[in-house]
Amino acid sequence: MNLEPEYREGLDQLAAHYKEVLSLLGEDPSREGLEKTPMRVAKAMQVLTRGYTQDARKVLTDALFEEKYNQMVIVKDIDFFSMCEHHMLPFFGKVHVAYIPNGYITGLSKIARVVDIFSHRLQVQERMTQQIKDCIQDTLKPLGVMVVVEAKHLCMQMRGVEKQNSITTTSDFSGAFNQAKTREEFMNLIRPK
Ligand SMILES: [Zn+2]
């Protein structure tokens, strides 16, 4: 089978398993509407987990620029879609990132790429938040970095565990953001006006 570049090995096996899953759920995988579903799901799942094959640190180390600017750099409202590792159902929302450079900056789109890579894996929101922070801290070595993630979790909303529309917020920070005043400055800037 000639794999399109965005798909990985194991696609056929994955599709075979999804066919089995459909049967186990009480469906008839041979009926017309479901005939191509196992392969579609397999492809979709490979795309949603493509972050496993991508190196977020390399994205940043490949795009470091020396720069004397040492005020807070903020990238807010980065949309993301991920899947919770407990139910494999989506959680999605926005990521806000701030860092204070220490000689190096990176392209703003690279921060969004890092978010994209960590979100395209099975995740818990807390760990994703920390991984984004660590990745930026370890590569740019800024004076501090802070990451705030706001998300809705379909595993809670669809199963009725939580109130509809509740938003889960997580944050992690390092260095200069240990000071409440610095965190506040960032939080004020990302708060919707
Ligand atoms: Zn879940």
| Domains 11-48 and 54-190 in one fold | no
What is the CATH code of the structural domain delimited by 11-48?
1.10.286.10
* Ligand 1 centroid from CA 44, angstroms: 18
Q: pLDDT-based confidence at 165, cuts 50/70/90?
A: confident
* Ligand 1 centroid from CA 152, angstroms: 11
pLDDT at 4: 63
The one catalytic residue among 123, 131, 135, 153 = 153
Residue 135 designated active-site? no
Q: pLDDT-based confidence at 191, cuts 50/70/90?
A: confident
As a whole number of angstroms, the distance between CA 52 and CA 54 comes to 6
Q: pLDDT-based confidence at 24, cuts 50/70/90?
A: very high
As a whole number of angstroms, the distance between CA 118 and CA 149 comes to 12
The predicted-structure confidence for 40-73, as pLDDT tens digits, reads as follows 999 999 999 999 999 999 999 999 999 999 899 9
Where do the structural domains in the chain lie, given as residue ranges? 11-48, 54-190
Residue 87 designated active-site? yes
The predicted-structure confidence for 105-163, as pLDDT tens digits, reads as follows 999 899 999 999 999 999 999 999 999 999 999 999 999 999 999 999 998 888 877 67
Give the containing element (helix H, strand E) for 122: strand 122-123
Q: Is the pLDDT of residue 5 over 80?
A: no
Q: What percent of the chain has pLDDT over 90?
A: 87
* Ligand 1 centroid from CA 38, angstroms: 22
* Ligand 1 centroid from CA 148, angstroms: 19
The one catalytic residue among 150, 155, 162, 185 = 155
* Ligand 1 centroid from CA 86, angstroms: 5
Residue 54 designated active-site? no
Residue 85 designated active-site? yes
As a whole number of angstroms, the distance between CA 130 and CA 139 comes to 14
Q: Give the chain's mean pLDDT.
A: 94
Residue 67 designated active-site? no
- Nearest CA to 98 out of 7, 184, 16 is that of 184
- Nearest CA to 72 out of 96, 41, 47 is that of 96
Residue 87 annotated as lining a ligand binding site: yes
pLDDT at 59: 97
Residue 157 designated active-site? no
Would you say domain 54-190 falls under CATH 3.30.365.10? no
Q: Is the pLDDT of residue 2 over 80?
A: no
Q: Is the pLDDT of residue 3 over 60?
A: no
DSSP state, residue 32 = G
Residue 185 designated active-site? no
Give this prediction's pTM: 0.93
47-52's contacts with Cβ under 8 Å and 24+ in sequence apart are 47/6, 47/120, 48/81, 48/83, 48/120, 49/83, 49/120, 49/121, 49/122, 50/6, 50/8, 50/120, 51/116, 51/117, 51/118, 51/119, 51/120, 51/121, 52/120, 52/121
Residue 84 annotated as lining a ligand binding site: yes
